Chains A and B, each alone.
Chain A
Amino acid sequence: DAGVIQSPRHEVTEMGQEVTLRCKPISGHNSLFWYRQTMMRGLELLIYFNNNVPIDDSGMPEDRFSAKMPNASFSTLKIQPSEPRDSAVYFCASSFGTPDNEQFFGPGTRLTVL
């Protein structure tokens, strides 16, 4: 298995632009998580999907952030418009069964907003 796949690995954009991050979870996993990691705030859970349905989006910082999971093998995290304070590493992770089981993380997308 290729593991969790994220794209792009690096993204540099200018303030105000739309950014879309993509994630392909491990086949068969029914839970998907989006995290943001910064030095200041550590690893923050943004949103959690179960069976493609958003269950907990309380960590989504603002309306500028949105996430979708149209099917079991694909999810997107969109930031529109982007701001410099959104600069961070964004991780996608997937797991099987209940959300407190072992999570498998992707390599992350390093986002820089100028």
Chain B
Amino acid sequence: SQQGEEDPQALSIQEGENATMNCSYKTSINNLQWYRQNSGRGLVHLILIRSNEREKHSGRLRVTLDTSKKSSSLLITASRAADTASYFCATDEGGSYIPTFGRGTSLIVHP
């Protein structure tokens, strides 16, 4: 089944910097979700953005969706060491309503 693909695979930044990661997909979607996974833990939902939305905010997180480019971006502003985790996008491509997850972006924030 189709799945979103995150880019970059890994990202290393200093505390206080912004982190941007991207997700691309191939067909149409109903919505796109971003999740975080800390080492050794289950995934935690961050934001869901629907196909008719262009931008959503949650605290220091900002998600954009460009359906014409079939891509989404997750921006974490003023990053903290606690933001160190893997970030996944999940897309329900092809009208399946069942989301599939990408391989994730590994973010390391150095204190």
| A107 with B45: CB separation less than 8 A | no
Once A42-B103, A42-B104 are accepted as A-B contacts, the answer to whether A100 and B97 lie under 8 Å apart by CB is: yes
1/0 per position for A17-48, CB-CB distance to B under 8 A?
A: 00000000000000000010000001101001
Q: Tell me the complex Cα distance, A101–B100, Å.
A: 12
Interface range on chain B (Cβ under 8 Å from partner)? 20 to 34
Q: Which B residues are closer than 8 A to A by beta carbons?
A: 1, 30-31, 33, 35, 41-45, 48, 88, 92, 97-104
| A42 with B102: CB separation less than 8 A | yes
Instruction: List the B residue with the shortest CB-CB distance to A58.
Output: B1
| A98 with B97: CB separation less than 8 A | yes
A14 located at the interface, meaning its Cβ lies under 8 Å from any Cβ of chain B in the complex: no
Q: Tell me the complex Cα distance, A99–B92, Å.
A: 9
| B31 with A100: CB separation less than 8 A | yes
